[in-house]
Amino acid sequence: MFSMGKKRSGLAVALVFLVLVQVSVSVPFIVLHGIAASCSQGKEANFTQLLTNLSGSPGYCIEVGNGKRDSWFMPLMKQTEIVCEKVKQMKELRQGYNIVGRSQGNLVARGLIEFCDGGPPVFNYISLAGPHAGISSVPLCGFQDDKVIVPQDSSWFGFYPDGAFKPLLSAQQTKLYTEDWIGLKTLDDAGKVKFVSVKGAHIIMADLDVVKYIVPYLQNQPSFQQKRFNRKTKETLRP
């Protein structure tokens, strides 16, 4: 499970797939958007609909407050509390659901998994360009061309040592991983984590990558139980 303790906040780059519970039936999914976005925004609504069309599973973009403004100014734990109450109230999710997080939305997703007591179970968590280890700079005020999440490896829980900006540590070299602060090592040792990199700018994915690397986790099939992946290798994926 995830804990948001001992964690820097920030923005991010690649993809991380975490399988929390094995599931062999089609289940709904929710999308949690990033900062300065909203569910009513065309790209978020279109992305949710695209995943629904491709997977055959019903998808829902979950909004917090007024979306764009609150994504900037509302504390993340408050956002998490709001989303928690919403998923509890949705009858469509009562038997369990999957999460697709986009950028900052992944911090809400992790809070939802860890702190939403009494909520429906989460089967698969798909993290797209999440700032899991924080950011070291804000270039605008992963994805191989991401200029939002710095360093890009933050999307894979990689970051710098405390108090330094070199060397860049892989996820497996960080205390967060080796001391298993949030259960990432436990999931990884069980073969339930896959690190993926795709070409593109921040949260911009080719449709072929969506079809190949996201849709299978949302479809009516056993998730991740057929094979174990090399947990130490960062696989570079091409369209």
Q: What domains can you pick out in the chain, each with its CATH number? A: 15-236 (3.40.50.1820)
* Number of neighbours of residue 54 by Cβ within 10 angstroms: 15
d(CA 127, CA 107): 10
- pLDDT at residue number 72: 77
In this predicted model, what pLDDT tens digit does every residue of 80-102 receive, in sequence order?
Answer: 999 999 999 999 999 999 999 98
Helix 105-115 and helix 76-89, axial crossing angle in degrees, nearest 10: 60
The percentage of residues in the chain with a pLDDT greater than 90, rounded to a whole number, is 27
In this predicted model, what pLDDT tens digit does every residue of 60-85 receive, in sequence order?
Answer: 999 988 777 787 778 889 999 999 99
Q: Which neighbouring-strand residues pair with 60?
A: 30
d(CA 1, CA 182): 6
* Confidence tier at 47 by pLDDT (50, 70, 90): very high
Q: Which neighbouring-strand residues pair with 125?
A: 18, 99
Highest-scoring range by mean pLDDT, 37-41, 88-92, 188-192: 88-92
Tokens of 158: 């990689």
- pLDDT at residue number 139: 45
Contact 117, 142 (CB under 8 A): no
In this predicted model, what pLDDT tens digit does every residue of 125-164 receive, in sequence order?
Answer: 998 877 764 555 444 444 455 555 666 666 667 666 777 6
d(CA 168, CA 159): 6
d(CA 158, CA 197): 13
The mean pLDDT value for 193-218 works out to 77
| Residue type at position 4 | M
- pLDDT at residue number 134: 52
- pLDDT at residue number 42: 81
d(CA 202, CA 190): 29
* Long-range contacts of 164-172, Cβ-Cβ distance < 8 Å, separation of 24 or more: 165/136, 170/234, 171/133, 171/195, 172/232
